[in-house]
Amino acid sequence: MAGHHDEFIKLEGKIFTRSFFVMLTLVVIGFFFIGVRYVKGIGAVSNMSDGYPWGIWIAYDVATGTAIACGGYAVAILIYIRNNWKFHPLIRSALLTSLFGYGLAGFSVVVDLGRYWNSYGFFIPSRWQINSAMFEVALCVMTYTLVLIIEFLPAVLWSLENSKGVTLRKVADWLHPRLTPDEARLASGLEWVRSSAAWLRPRLDKVLVFFIVLGITLPTMHQSSLGSLLLIAATKLHPLWHTGFLPLLFLINCIYIGYSIVILESIISSNAFKREIELNELSGLSRIIPWLTVIWLSVRVGDLAYRGQLGAAIKLDFYSCFFLLEFLLVAGGSIILFSSRMRRSPRWLFITAAMIILGGGLYRFNVYLIGFNPGQGWHYFPSIAELMITVGVIALELLGYQVLVKLFPVLPNPKHAGSGHKTADNSHHAGTHEEILPAAVHVGK
């Protein structure tokens, strides 16, 4: 592990770009409405009702958002369990996205909780209610967020170790001009931080694997439990979605979404930050996805057939349309990915990853909202304020990502030998990657 830090680089560039301010505006709007919610109650900003007690904050931010944040989980399985170290360069950016996804899902939950001040009850054993899937989800997600922070720590420590503290000193000067004479103390403080980071990093590297495995176990638990959450809604969730297989379906679902999001994110950030695409890693990842989706789709269809619901699936009513949409997006994307030529084209990688994320995400949306019918007379469509809170939270996530990749070595280092088996005359332009496939990605036996 110790030698792996040159796999990653900081992105050079200004922090305060235009997109930074666009995002910031959205964040501010979102937080304004969050303020309203805390003063005037949830009803003042949201269209949720006693029939639809969970709106998009849960259906998107928590149920779908954490699946999108499963990149770190999915890639960690690949590297540490499947022993595919060529994907290691992707891990940090995937972890960072996961950290944001989960952190902000947690944040949305606090906005959503009506009696948030009682949340400490999760730490009081006499209040534990182990029958509740939500109890399991809550504890798991909190622990996992901590684990993600620990997993990301090496990048932070590395930066502390190698920083000259210039920015920090500038900030200090600006904050408090009178501090300037005390240069010596500031410098020695910085030196202390640097040396303790240097002390900690190799030690953390040694035990990191135990946290990484915890970071694989926890999502396995809570992602399946996110499916279990709706098991109770036997009379409300449409039979196209209500099944005892919900936990299994949610688990597989988050893994293929995880791989797809890594692909999507890499392609987008390569474009946005004008970096080279990690095509070899990405097409390797994309190879796994269709196998997962095939299992998922088979369980899905097999279960419907077993429960005699195939007729309902093709009835072309409201529910069946959403089912078919979800199904076709996932199946369509997967079929394309079975072709090795498509897997070498960044454009098709992008399209298929997007299809699978949309389809997989829609599945979760269907389970949490669209397929949910509490009875006659109840309707739900999110209000503007409610949407803006979610948008603000997403903007905060993108904002944080943009800033952190410039502060810490997160993105894959294109010059690193291990990243990507690139040939010398490798062209970086989309669509022209017709060069030889990398030798089959095999596992050391």
Partner 1 sequence: MSKQSRRSFLKTIGFGGAALVASTTGLSHASEQPPVNNEALGMLYDATMCVGCKACMTACKRVNGDFGSLAFEKAPFDPDGLWDAPQDLSGSTRTLIKLYKESDKEWSYIKYSCMHCQKPSCVSVCPVSAMTKDKVTGIVDYNKDTCIGCRYCQVGCSFNIPKFQWEKTLPQIVKCDLCKNTNLKEKGITACAQTCPVGAISFGKRRELLDIAHARLRDNPGRYIHHVYGEFELGGTNHLYLAAVPFHKLGLPIVPQDAPAEFSEKIQHTIYKGFVAPVALYSTLCFIALKNQKRQDSNGNGEDDK
- Map the footprint of partner 1 across residues 23-42, applying CB under 8 A: 38-42
Q: Do residues 148 and 102 lie in contact, with contact meaning Cβ atoms separated by under 8 Å?
A: yes
Dihedral over Cα of 122, 125, 129, 131: its sign: positive
Q: Dihedrals φ, ψ of 51, to 5°? A: -80, -40
Question: What is the C-alpha to C-alpha distance for residues 231 and 247, in angstroms, rounded to an integer?
Answer: 9
48 or 385: CB nearest partner 1: 48
Taking the mean position of all CA atoms in its chain, how far away is CA 305?
Answer: 32
152 or 401: CB nearest partner 1: 152
Name the one range near partner 1 by CB under 8 A: 15-23, 239-247, 329-337, 345-353.
239-247
Binding to partner 1, residues 414-443 (CB under 8 A): 416-419, 421, 439-443
Binding to partner 1, residues 40-59 (CB under 8 A): 40-44, 46, 48-51, 53-54
Binding to partner 1, residues 83-102 (CB under 8 A): 83-86, 88-89
Cβ atoms within 10 Å, residue 183? 12
194 or 416: CB nearest partner 1: 416
- 3-class DSSP state of 371: coil
Residues 360, 363, 366, CA angle at the centre, nearest 5°? 155
Q: Burial code of 135-162, b = ≥16 C-beta within 10 A, e = fewer?
A: bbbbbbbbbbbebbebbbbbbbbbebbe
The minimum distance between CB 317 and partner 1, in angstroms, equals 20
Q: Which of 29, 142, 248, 324 binds partner 1 (CB under 8 A)?
A: 248
Q: Which of 24, 29, 134, 312 binds partner 1 (CB under 8 A)?
A: 134
269 or 283: CB nearest partner 1: 283
Question: What is the C-alpha to C-alpha distance for residues 95 and 371, in angstroms, rounded to an integer?
Answer: 32
Residue partners of 12: CB distance under 8 A and separation at least 6: 406
14 or 126: CB nearest partner 1: 126
Tell me if 136 contacts partner 1 by CB under 8 A: yes
Name the one range near partner 1 by CB under 8 A: 77-85, 275-283, 384-392, 429-437.
77-85
Question: What is the C-alpha to C-alpha distance for residues 256 and 291, in angstroms, rounded to an integer?
Answer: 9
Tell me if 165 contacts partner 1 by CB under 8 A: no
224 or 260: CB nearest partner 1: 224
Tell me if 106 contacts partner 1 by CB under 8 A: no
Number of residues that bind partner 1 (CB under 8 A): 96
Q: In one letter, which amino acid is 200? A: L
Name the one range near partner 1 by CB under 8 A: 118-126, 185-193, 309-317, 325-333.
118-126
Tell me if 163 contacts partner 1 by CB under 8 A: no
Residue 235 burial by CB count (10 A; 0-12/13-18/19+): exposed, middle or buried? exposed
Q: Dihedrals φ, ψ of 132, to 5°? A: -85, 120
Q: How far apart are the first and last CA of the chain?
A: 20
Tell me if 121 contacts partner 1 by CB under 8 A: yes
Question: What is the C-alpha to C-alpha distance for residues 263 and 257, in angstroms, rounded to an integer?
Answer: 10
Residue partners of 387: CB distance under 8 A and separation at least 6: 56
Tell me if 204 contacts partner 1 by CB under 8 A: no
Q: Which of 255, 261, 369, 395 binds partner 1 (CB under 8 A)?
A: 255
Q: Which of 177, 235, 311, 424 binds partner 1 (CB under 8 A)?
A: 235
Can you spell out the DSSP letters for 237-282?
A: B-TTT--TTHHHHHHHHHHHHHHHHHHHHHHHHHHHTT----HHHH
Tell me if 82 contacts partner 1 by CB under 8 A: yes
Name the one range near partner 1 by CB under 8 A: 73-81, 154-162, 178-186, 358-366.
73-81
Question: What is the C-alpha to C-alpha distance for residues 434 and 142, in angstroms, rounded to an integer?
Answer: 44
Binding to partner 1, residues 347-406 (CB under 8 A): 374-375
Binding to partner 1, residues 293-312 (CB under 8 A): 295
26 or 410: CB nearest partner 1: 410
Tell me if 239 contacts partner 1 by CB under 8 A: no
Binding to partner 1, residues 208-227 (CB under 8 A): 209-210, 212-214, 216-217, 220-221, 224-225
- 3-class DSSP state of 198: helix
Name the one range near partner 1 by CB under 8 A: 97-105, 123-131, 196-204, 342-350.
123-131
